[in-house]
Amino acid sequence: MNIDNTQNAYIDTNTLIFAKSVIYTLEDMLGIPFVLNKTSFRETVFSSPFDMVAYIHFTGAIQGDYLLGLDEVLAAKLTEVYEEGISKNVLIEMRDDYGGFIKELLNIAVGLSIPELEHNFGDLTHASGIVIYGELDLPDVTSGNVLIESDLGKILCGFSLNLAQVKIGRTLEKILRALEKITDDAKTARKTVKTVLRLFNSASIAVSPEGKILSGCSHSPASIVGLDPEKDIVGMDLTTLLNLNTSDSHKLNHVLQYIQKIDSFSLKEIPIPEETQFTNKQGKVFKLDWIPVIDDENKRLEKLLVIMENLSETCLDQ
Protein backbone atom coordinates (compact mmCIF):
# COMPACT_ATOMS: atom_id res chain seq x y z
CA MET A 1 0.00 0.00 0.00
CA ASN A 2 1.27 3.47 -0.87
CA ILE A 3 1.14 5.27 2.49
CA ASP A 4 1.35 8.76 0.97
CA ASN A 5 -1.60 8.10 -1.34
CA THR A 6 -3.56 6.53 1.52
CA GLN A 7 -2.91 9.46 3.84
CA ASN A 8 -3.86 11.94 1.13
CA ALA A 9 -7.07 10.05 0.38
CA TYR A 10 -7.89 10.24 4.07
CA ILE A 11 -7.17 13.98 4.13
CA ASP A 12 -9.41 14.43 1.10
CA THR A 13 -12.42 12.68 2.57
CA ASN A 14 -12.13 14.46 5.92
CA THR A 15 -11.86 17.80 4.13
CA LEU A 16 -15.20 17.05 2.51
CA ILE A 17 -16.71 16.00 5.83
CA PHE A 18 -15.59 19.30 7.36
CA ALA A 19 -16.80 21.40 4.41
CA LYS A 20 -20.19 19.67 4.50
CA SER A 21 -20.37 20.30 8.26
CA VAL A 22 -19.74 24.01 7.67
CA ILE A 23 -22.42 24.11 4.96
CA TYR A 24 -24.99 22.37 7.15
CA THR A 25 -24.15 24.49 10.19
CA LEU A 26 -24.53 27.74 8.22
CA GLU A 27 -27.90 26.60 6.91
CA ASP A 28 -29.07 25.57 10.37
CA MET A 29 -27.88 28.73 12.09
CA LEU A 30 -28.70 31.31 9.42
CA GLY A 31 -30.80 29.63 6.76
CA ILE A 32 -28.20 30.64 4.17
CA PRO A 33 -27.40 27.94 1.58
CA PHE A 34 -23.75 27.44 0.62
CA VAL A 35 -22.65 24.96 -2.03
CA LEU A 36 -19.41 23.10 -2.62
CA ASN A 37 -17.27 24.37 -5.51
CA LYS A 38 -16.03 20.99 -6.76
CA THR A 39 -13.46 22.43 -9.17
CA SER A 40 -11.73 24.37 -6.38
CA PHE A 41 -10.48 21.30 -4.47
CA ARG A 42 -6.69 21.23 -4.01
CA GLU A 43 -4.13 19.24 -2.03
CA THR A 44 -1.57 21.81 -0.94
CA VAL A 45 -0.27 23.73 2.07
CA PHE A 46 -3.13 25.87 3.38
CA SER A 47 -2.92 29.42 2.06
CA SER A 48 -5.88 31.77 2.18
CA PRO A 49 -6.45 34.71 -0.20
CA PHE A 50 -8.85 36.20 2.34
CA ASP A 51 -8.14 38.64 5.18
CA MET A 52 -9.58 36.54 7.99
CA VAL A 53 -8.60 33.02 9.07
CA ALA A 54 -10.11 30.92 11.84
CA TYR A 55 -8.66 27.61 12.94
CA ILE A 56 -8.78 24.90 15.57
CA HIS A 57 -5.66 22.82 16.23
CA PHE A 58 -6.06 19.29 17.58
CA THR A 59 -3.43 17.02 19.14
CA GLY A 60 -3.19 13.44 20.33
CA ALA A 61 -1.98 10.33 18.50
CA ILE A 62 -2.29 12.58 15.47
CA GLN A 63 -2.34 16.33 15.11
CA GLY A 64 -3.63 18.81 12.60
CA ASP A 65 -5.96 21.71 11.98
CA TYR A 66 -9.43 22.58 10.82
CA LEU A 67 -9.32 25.95 9.05
CA LEU A 68 -11.65 28.56 7.59
CA GLY A 69 -10.62 31.47 5.38
CA LEU A 70 -13.00 34.29 4.48
CA ASP A 71 -13.21 38.06 4.09
CA GLU A 72 -14.18 40.20 7.04
CA VAL A 73 -16.91 41.77 4.93
CA LEU A 74 -18.51 38.35 4.41
CA ALA A 75 -18.30 37.60 8.14
CA ALA A 76 -20.02 40.92 8.84
CA LYS A 77 -22.72 40.16 6.26
CA LEU A 78 -23.40 36.77 7.82
CA THR A 79 -24.01 38.42 11.18
CA GLU A 80 -26.03 41.25 9.57
CA VAL A 81 -23.83 44.02 10.92
CA TYR A 82 -22.49 45.07 7.52
CA GLU A 83 -23.74 48.16 5.71
CA GLU A 84 -22.71 49.35 2.26
CA GLY A 85 -20.01 51.99 2.40
CA ILE A 86 -18.96 51.12 5.93
CA SER A 87 -15.39 52.21 6.69
CA LYS A 88 -12.59 49.81 7.57
CA ASN A 89 -12.25 51.33 11.03
CA VAL A 90 -15.93 50.83 11.80
CA LEU A 91 -15.70 47.26 10.51
CA ILE A 92 -12.76 46.59 12.82
CA GLU A 93 -14.80 47.85 15.78
CA MET A 94 -17.34 45.10 15.03
CA ARG A 95 -14.80 42.28 15.12
CA ASP A 96 -16.05 41.00 18.46
CA ASP A 97 -19.47 40.42 16.89
CA TYR A 98 -18.62 38.69 13.63
CA GLY A 99 -15.39 37.19 14.96
CA GLY A 100 -17.34 35.54 17.76
CA PHE A 101 -19.84 34.16 15.28
CA ILE A 102 -17.11 32.64 13.08
CA LYS A 103 -15.57 31.01 16.17
CA GLU A 104 -18.92 29.47 17.05
CA LEU A 105 -19.45 28.31 13.46
CA LEU A 106 -16.03 26.66 13.49
CA ASN A 107 -16.56 25.09 16.92
CA ILE A 108 -19.82 23.46 15.83
CA ALA A 109 -18.47 22.28 12.46
CA VAL A 110 -15.40 20.75 14.13
CA GLY A 111 -17.64 19.16 16.76
CA LEU A 112 -19.50 17.41 13.94
CA SER A 113 -16.34 16.39 12.08
CA ILE A 114 -13.83 15.35 14.73
CA PRO A 115 -15.67 12.28 16.13
CA GLU A 116 -14.56 10.46 12.96
CA LEU A 117 -10.94 11.09 13.95
CA GLU A 118 -11.44 10.24 17.63
CA HIS A 119 -13.25 7.03 16.77
CA ASN A 120 -10.15 5.78 14.94
CA PHE A 121 -7.25 7.57 16.63
CA GLY A 122 -8.47 7.92 20.21
CA ASP A 123 -9.22 11.05 22.20
CA LEU A 124 -7.99 14.30 20.71
CA THR A 125 -7.43 17.55 22.57
CA HIS A 126 -8.56 20.80 20.99
CA ALA A 127 -9.36 24.27 22.25
CA SER A 128 -11.91 26.76 20.98
CA GLY A 129 -11.47 28.46 17.64
CA ILE A 130 -8.88 31.18 17.11
CA VAL A 131 -9.40 34.04 14.66
CA ILE A 132 -6.49 35.75 12.92
CA TYR A 133 -6.83 38.95 10.91
CA GLY A 134 -4.15 39.04 8.23
CA GLU A 135 -1.65 36.34 7.29
CA LEU A 136 -1.31 33.05 9.16
CA ASP A 137 2.01 31.20 9.15
CA LEU A 138 1.33 27.47 9.23
CA PRO A 139 3.70 24.47 9.15
CA ASP A 140 4.55 23.05 5.72
CA VAL A 141 1.96 20.28 5.94
CA THR A 142 -0.31 19.15 3.10
CA SER A 143 -3.97 19.93 3.59
CA GLY A 144 -7.16 19.48 1.64
CA ASN A 145 -8.72 22.79 0.66
CA VAL A 146 -12.07 23.48 -0.97
CA LEU A 147 -14.31 26.52 -1.42
CA ILE A 148 -17.94 26.74 -0.44
CA GLU A 149 -19.94 29.56 -2.03
CA SER A 150 -23.15 31.54 -1.77
CA ASP A 151 -24.48 34.78 -3.19
CA LEU A 152 -22.83 36.58 -0.26
CA GLY A 153 -19.30 35.30 -0.92
CA LYS A 154 -16.85 32.42 -0.55
CA ILE A 155 -15.37 30.51 2.39
CA LEU A 156 -12.24 28.37 2.12
CA CYS A 157 -12.45 25.15 4.17
CA GLY A 158 -9.20 23.39 4.99
CA PHE A 159 -8.17 20.24 6.84
CA SER A 160 -4.55 19.29 7.56
CA LEU A 161 -3.31 16.11 9.18
CA ASN A 162 0.15 15.18 10.45
CA LEU A 163 0.61 11.47 11.10
CA ALA A 164 4.19 11.84 12.32
CA GLN A 165 3.24 10.52 15.75
CA VAL A 166 1.60 7.38 14.36
CA LYS A 167 3.71 4.32 13.63
CA ILE A 168 3.60 3.82 9.88
CA GLY A 169 2.97 0.30 8.61
CA ARG A 170 0.44 -2.24 9.76
CA THR A 171 -0.91 0.00 12.53
CA LEU A 172 -1.65 2.86 10.12
CA GLU A 173 -3.09 0.53 7.52
CA LYS A 174 -5.40 -1.01 10.11
CA ILE A 175 -6.57 2.42 11.23
CA LEU A 176 -7.15 3.65 7.71
CA ARG A 177 -9.01 0.51 6.70
CA ALA A 178 -11.41 1.05 9.60
CA LEU A 179 -12.43 4.54 8.51
CA GLU A 180 -15.63 3.49 6.78
CA LYS A 181 -17.15 2.45 10.11
CA ILE A 182 -19.79 4.95 11.14
CA THR A 183 -19.51 6.47 14.60
CA ASP A 184 -22.39 7.38 16.87
CA ASP A 185 -20.15 9.35 19.19
CA ALA A 186 -22.15 10.99 21.95
CA LYS A 187 -20.68 14.39 21.11
CA THR A 188 -22.90 14.64 18.05
CA ALA A 189 -25.99 14.39 20.25
CA ARG A 190 -25.35 17.94 21.43
CA LYS A 191 -25.85 19.28 17.91
CA THR A 192 -29.17 19.83 16.21
CA VAL A 193 -30.94 16.64 15.19
CA LYS A 194 -31.53 17.93 11.69
CA THR A 195 -27.87 18.66 11.05
CA VAL A 196 -26.60 15.37 12.48
CA LEU A 197 -29.08 13.26 10.53
CA ARG A 198 -28.22 14.99 7.27
CA LEU A 199 -24.49 14.74 7.89
CA PHE A 200 -24.50 11.03 8.70
CA ASN A 201 -26.79 10.31 5.78
CA SER A 202 -23.86 10.72 3.40
CA ALA A 203 -20.43 9.25 2.81
CA SER A 204 -17.21 10.17 1.05
CA ILE A 205 -14.86 7.86 -0.82
CA ALA A 206 -11.70 8.34 -2.87
CA VAL A 207 -11.39 6.42 -6.13
CA SER A 208 -8.27 5.86 -8.25
CA PRO A 209 -8.33 6.61 -12.01
CA GLU A 210 -8.57 2.83 -12.49
CA GLY A 211 -11.85 2.82 -10.58
CA LYS A 212 -10.48 1.20 -7.39
CA ILE A 213 -11.61 2.47 -3.98
CA LEU A 214 -8.73 3.92 -1.94
CA SER A 215 -8.26 3.79 1.81
CA GLY A 216 -9.73 6.74 3.64
CA CYS A 217 -13.45 6.00 3.27
CA SER A 218 -15.73 7.53 5.86
CA HIS A 219 -19.28 7.26 7.19
CA SER A 220 -20.00 3.74 6.01
CA PRO A 221 -20.43 4.01 2.23
CA ALA A 222 -21.13 0.28 2.09
CA SER A 223 -24.40 0.63 4.00
CA ILE A 224 -25.64 3.38 1.65
CA VAL A 225 -25.59 0.96 -1.28
CA GLY A 226 -27.11 -1.92 0.71
CA LEU A 227 -23.98 -3.81 1.81
CA ASP A 228 -22.85 -4.80 5.30
CA PRO A 229 -21.51 -1.61 6.99
CA GLU A 230 -18.55 -3.66 8.26
CA LYS A 231 -17.56 -4.84 4.78
CA ASP A 232 -14.00 -3.94 3.75
CA ILE A 233 -14.42 -2.07 0.46
CA VAL A 234 -10.83 -0.83 -0.03
CA GLY A 235 -9.52 -2.07 -3.37
CA MET A 236 -13.03 -2.88 -4.64
CA ASP A 237 -14.11 -1.65 -8.06
CA LEU A 238 -16.43 1.37 -7.78
CA THR A 239 -18.96 -0.28 -10.08
CA THR A 240 -18.97 -3.39 -7.86
CA LEU A 241 -19.62 -1.30 -4.76
CA LEU A 242 -22.45 0.66 -6.35
CA ASN A 243 -24.04 -2.50 -7.80
CA LEU A 244 -25.73 -0.52 -10.57
CA ASN A 245 -27.84 -1.96 -13.33
CA THR A 246 -26.04 -3.02 -16.50
CA SER A 247 -26.72 0.19 -18.42
CA ASP A 248 -25.56 2.58 -15.66
CA SER A 249 -22.56 0.38 -14.82
CA HIS A 250 -21.53 0.35 -18.48
CA LYS A 251 -21.72 4.16 -18.67
CA LEU A 252 -19.58 4.57 -15.56
CA ASN A 253 -16.99 2.06 -16.81
CA HIS A 254 -16.86 3.92 -20.12
CA VAL A 255 -16.04 7.18 -18.31
CA LEU A 256 -13.29 5.53 -16.23
CA GLN A 257 -11.75 3.88 -19.30
CA TYR A 258 -11.82 7.20 -21.15
CA ILE A 259 -10.02 8.96 -18.31
CA GLN A 260 -7.23 6.38 -18.22
CA LYS A 261 -6.45 6.92 -21.91
CA ILE A 262 -6.03 10.69 -21.70
CA ASP A 263 -2.49 12.03 -21.27
CA SER A 264 -3.55 15.41 -19.88
CA PHE A 265 -6.70 17.46 -19.60
CA SER A 266 -8.36 20.32 -17.79
CA LEU A 267 -11.22 20.01 -15.31
CA LYS A 268 -13.72 21.05 -17.97
CA GLU A 269 -12.74 18.13 -20.20
CA ILE A 270 -13.52 15.42 -17.64
CA PRO A 271 -16.71 13.61 -18.74
CA ILE A 272 -17.92 13.12 -15.16
CA PRO A 273 -21.67 13.56 -14.63
CA GLU A 274 -22.93 16.24 -12.30
CA GLU A 275 -25.05 15.25 -9.30
CA THR A 276 -26.83 12.10 -10.46
CA GLN A 277 -29.44 9.97 -8.76
CA PHE A 278 -29.24 6.20 -9.05
CA THR A 279 -31.25 3.18 -7.90
CA ASN A 280 -29.10 0.06 -7.68
CA LYS A 281 -29.94 -3.65 -7.82
CA GLN A 282 -30.49 -3.66 -4.04
CA GLY A 283 -33.20 -1.04 -4.44
CA LYS A 284 -31.08 1.60 -2.69
CA VAL A 285 -31.50 5.17 -3.94
CA PHE A 286 -28.53 7.50 -3.72
CA LYS A 287 -27.02 10.57 -5.29
CA LEU A 288 -23.40 10.72 -6.44
CA ASP A 289 -21.45 13.97 -6.60
CA TRP A 290 -17.98 13.91 -8.18
CA ILE A 291 -14.92 16.01 -7.34
CA PRO A 292 -11.90 15.39 -9.60
CA VAL A 293 -8.47 15.94 -8.03
CA ILE A 294 -5.98 17.02 -10.71
CA ASP A 295 -2.20 17.01 -10.51
CA ASP A 296 -1.53 20.61 -11.59
CA GLU A 297 1.97 19.77 -12.81
CA ASN A 298 1.19 17.05 -15.35
CA LYS A 299 -2.56 17.74 -15.68
CA ARG A 300 -3.46 14.14 -14.96
CA LEU A 301 -6.27 12.92 -12.76
CA GLU A 302 -4.91 11.78 -9.39
CA LYS A 303 -8.21 10.51 -8.01
CA LEU A 304 -11.93 11.09 -7.88
CA LEU A 305 -13.62 12.09 -4.65
CA VAL A 306 -17.17 10.77 -4.63
CA ILE A 307 -19.79 12.10 -2.23
CA MET A 308 -22.61 9.61 -1.74
CA GLU A 309 -25.93 10.84 -0.34
CA ASN A 310 -28.48 8.30 0.85
CA LEU A 311 -31.93 9.11 -0.59
CA SER A 312 -33.65 5.80 0.18
CA GLU A 313 -35.52 7.03 3.29
CA THR A 314 -36.52 10.26 1.54
CA CYS A 315 -37.98 8.33 -1.38
CA LEU A 316 -39.88 6.02 0.99
CA ASP A 317 -41.35 9.01 2.84
CA GLN A 318 -42.56 10.45 -0.45
What confidence category does residue 298 fall into, taking pLDDT thresholds of 50, 70 and 90?
low
Q: Which domains does the chain have, with CATH numbers?
A: 3-186 (3.40.1550.10), 202-317 (3.30.450.20)
d(CA 314, CA 318): 6
Residues 6+ apart with CB under 8 A from 94: 76, 81
What confidence category does residue 153 fall into, taking pLDDT thresholds of 50, 70 and 90?
very high
What's the pLDDT at 85? 81
Long-range CB pairs of 25-32 (<8 Å, 24+ gap) are 25/105, 25/108, 25/109, 25/112, 25/195, 26/78, 26/105, 28/192, 28/194, 28/195, 29/105, 29/108, 30/78, 32/78, 32/150, 32/152
> How confident is the model over 6-63, as pLDDT tens digits?
557 678 888 988 999 999 999 999 999 999 998 899 888 888 999 999 999 998 878 8
Mean pLDDT of all residues in 222-246: 83
pTM of the model: 0.69
Mean pLDDT of all residues in 54-73: 92
What's the pLDDT at 154? 97
Could you list the beta-strand ranges (E) of the chain: 35-45, 52-59, 63-70, 125-126, 130-133, 142-150, 153-162, 202-207, 276-279, 285-295, 300-310
Q: Is 175 helix (H, G, I), strand (E, B) or coil?
A: helix
Q: What average pLDDT is seen over the chain? A: 77
> How confident is the model over 260-278, as pLDDT tens digits?
666 555 555 555 665 578 8
Indicate if the pLDDT at residue 144 is higher than 50.
yes
Indicate if the pLDDT at residue 157 is higher than 90.
yes
Nearest to 134 by CA among 190, 76, 92: 92
